[in-house]
Amino acid sequence: MESGPGISGRRANGEELSVDTRNDEPGSAAAAVPVSVSGSVSVPVSVPVSVPGQGSTHGPAPDPGHDPKPDPDPPAWRVLLAYVRPYRLWLLLGGALSLVTGATGLILPLAARRLIDNLGSHRSIAVEAMLMSLLVVGNAALGALGSYVLRRTGESVVLSARRNLVSHLLRLRISAVDRSEPGDLMSRVTADTTLLHEVTTSSLVGAVTGGLTMLATLTMMAVLDLVLFGVALAVLVLAATVIGLLVPRIHRAGKQAQESVGRMGAALERMLGALRTVKASGAELREEAAVHEAAEESWRASLRSAKWSAVAGNTAGLASQIAFLTVLAVGGGRVASGAIHIGTLIAFLMYVFYLMPPVQQLVSAVSEYQVGAAAVARIQEAHRLPTEPPVLPAPAEPGAPPAGLAFEDVRFRYAPDLPEIHHGVTVTIPPGGMTAFVGPSGAGKTTVFSLIERFYEPTAGRILLDGTDIRHWDLARLRAAIGYVEQDAPVLSGSLRANLLLGAPDATDAELRDVLVATRLDGLVARLPQGLETLVGHRGTKLSGGERQRVAIARALLRRPRLLLLDEATSQLDAVNEAALRDTVADAARTTTVLVVAHRLSTVTMADRIVVMDAGVVRAVGTHAELVSADPLYAELAATQFLAAVD
């Protein structure tokens, strides 16, 4: 590695230390690949191209927050067909049953006409009456079976869409999550996918079966009498024109309604996610007003959607009534003139009545399609959020040596419109031992850990693990080698055991007991009413801050990582527990590489090496004794920010 201006020195044990703080201009590049979600459609996103076992094949990382312009979304009907394709046989069966139901209904007017003709001729009507009874019962039975099959298909489509979307969200880049509202993403999984049920059954199937039934009905009407057929057709064409003008309004209103539901979910998640802060700040009424406003906006948008859908539906109903009255008037005249028989007029009027359901079905299908298309668009928006490369879980590597790490002129910013966090960070950390990162707030210490985990990609420079660029590592293998304790030590809702085994589900009971003792959690487990099976509450609210930190440390240690990252991992511990955890970390540093971000002098002074960061650069590396005399910033931190300076 070429060296630049910086700070260099030699440890007391003879170890060579060098720090480079060059300030070269960054470059960037991006790779775009299509990612296919099982059971759904492929969407192009910008991701590092990674082959399991081989790693990435791209060059410099893209600028965080910047993704290549995606291809246009496919039309909603194509996406819907992709969703229903795995269930096409069930869909075809439901559609066929619906068509048979419609066909049996079309026979009824003909049977009625014959029955009336027989009555007029004083002939027996027993056969016709029996036939009509069988048709009515059969029609109801087939209709019920067809409805069940279609509903089953709709629920299956919703399940598939939810599973695909959840899988996609779990692979999102952290930068994409940073730009999104969690409540809005949740509404896409819950509310938007629910609309797929109706749009895949009532809309797709309804459009086909309703259209075919209407076509068959019109054909039978034309066979009976062309004049009356022309009258009915003219009324339907006029109604179709009016409904066509309403369709764009229904689509816009449906999209606004779904977006407003997402905003309401985001507002609710914002409030519930910080409810203690809201209460402590006396802000309940203000937050209540904000959520109420979001709910009212959703209500107004839903009303607009309902209004235009109701207008379209009633337009179809009105057209059917007008067609009936017009046919009755014209048909009565034709019966009076002897052009047709009374039985023909009655049969035609029955067909007019039978024409109402498929017309209503078509109008409902159009309305639901417009609302469903808006939901599909929101689901596709979520699918187009950039993701990490799809990977399979990688097992831990017991007995693997500690990892060596190096940053080479690394630059990073969280978004193109934000300032750089790192301005050419260069530092080498040998395998094993403990390295502490110190510096003022905002120096970029936590970002170092995020880059190592590849939550974000550098805009320039390289990060090497064991001499290999981490972008060339398989992502699952990389993270399997790392144990990470975040600054806020998050704990998931569920049992204590589930939290501890989150990163090492195959850990044995003996390994779990050892880690509990090492992190001084064994006493907590003994006090809990259900031991390890005790539920810890949402975000671990049933645990204290220090207990949550110890759970997070235990979780990381169970992975037996080659590289352990501790970000302020003991900030909420009392002196006794901190001392015990320091011994645990020191013991871990004998077999793994430990990196800590710390502000407590007691933690920093036990480190084998200390990296001092300031304003996004590394300004010094050394031991506590070396840095107190060699670096003014560290000396100031040791005298003020830490508890006290010691030799």
- The whole-angstrom separation of Cα 476 and Cα 289 is 44
Split at pLDDT 50, 70, 90, the class of 32 is very low
Same domain, 498 and 370: no
Mean pLDDT along residues 530-559: 82
Residue 202: what pLDDT?
67
Domain boundary residue, one of 355, 384, 413 = 384
Split at pLDDT 50, 70, 90, the class of 641 is low
Same domain, 357 and 461: no
Split at pLDDT 50, 70, 90, the class of 60 is very low
CATH number of the domain bearing residue 308: 1.20.1560.10
Same domain, 575 and 612: yes
Same domain, 293 and 203: yes
Same domain, 380 and 411: no
Q: Which of 274-278, 363-367, 513-517 has the largest mean confidence?
A: 513-517
- The whole-angstrom separation of Cα 462 and Cα 550 is 32
- The whole-angstrom separation of Cα 633 and Cα 205 is 71
Could you tell me what percent of the chain has a pLDDT over 70? 82
Q: Which domain holds residue 88?
A: 76-384
Same domain, 336 and 442: no
Residue 411: what pLDDT?
92
Residue 458: what pLDDT?
92
32: in domain = no
Same domain, 373 and 409: no
Residue 392: what pLDDT?
67
Task: Read off the DSSP letter of residue 567.
Answer: E
Could you tell me what percent of the chain has a pLDDT over 90? 5
Q: Which tens digit of pLDDT belongs to each residue from 286-297? A: 877 887 887 888
Distance of CA 39 to the CA centre of its chain: 15
Question: What is the domain count for the chain?
Answer: 2
Report pTM: 0.68
Q: Which tens digit of pLDDT belongs to each residue from 420-460? A: 889 889 999 999 889 999 888 888 888 999 999 999 999 99
The H-or-E segment that residue 597 falls in is: strand 593-597
Same domain, 187 and 100: yes
Question: Residue 20: which of 577, 324, 462, 487 has the closest Cα?
Answer: 462
1: in domain = no
Q: Residue by residue, what is the 3-state secondary structure of 126-137?
A: HHHHHHHHHHHH
Residue 342: what pLDDT?
83
Q: Which two tokens stand for residue 617?
A: 């650069």
Please, are residues 413 and 457 in contact by the beta-carbon 8 Å criterion? no
68: in domain = no
Same domain, 610 and 483: yes
For 337-387, where are the alpha helices, taking DSSP H only? Answer: 342-383
255: in domain = yes
Same domain, 431 and 314: no
Beta strands in 158-279 (DSSP E): none
Split at pLDDT 50, 70, 90, the class of 71 is low
The H-or-E segment that residue 483 falls in is: strand 482-485
Judged against a pLDDT cut of 60, whether residue 23 lies above it is answered with no
Mean pLDDT along residues 95-110: 74
Residue 255: what pLDDT?
76
Mean pLDDT along residues 488-514: 84
CATH number of the domain bearing residue 594: 3.40.50.300
Q: Which two tokens stand for residue 273?
A: 């996610």
Same domain, 421 and 362: no
Split at pLDDT 50, 70, 90, the class of 465 is very high
Domain boundary residue, one of 321, 352, 384 = 384
Question: Residue 570: which of 613, 537, 600 has the closest Cα?
Answer: 600
- The whole-angstrom separation of Cα 194 and Cα 192 is 5
Residue 595: what pLDDT?
92
DSSP string across 403-442: PPEEEEEEEE-SSTTS--SEEEEEEEE-SSEEEEEE-STT
Same domain, 418 and 379: no
Judged against a pLDDT cut of 50, whether residue 527 lies above it is answered with yes
Mean pLDDT along residues 495-513: 85
Q: Which two tokens stand for residue 130?
A: 């029996």
- The whole-angstrom separation of Cα 552 and Cα 488 is 9
Domain boundary residue, one of 384, 418, 452 = 384
Residue 396: what pLDDT?
61
394: in domain = no
Please, are residues 499 and 75 in contact by the beta-carbon 8 Å criterion? no
Residue 293: what pLDDT?
83
CA distances from 139 to 304, 355, 588, 622 (A): 36, 16, 74, 86
Q: Which two tokens stand for residue 112?
A: 């009625």
What does pLDDT average to over the chain?
Answer: 76
466: in domain = yes
33: in domain = no
One-letter amino acid at 95 equals G
Q: Which two tokens stand for residue 82?
A: 């992709």
647: in domain = no
Q: Which range (9-18, 85-94, 330-339, 369-378) has the least confidence?
A: 9-18
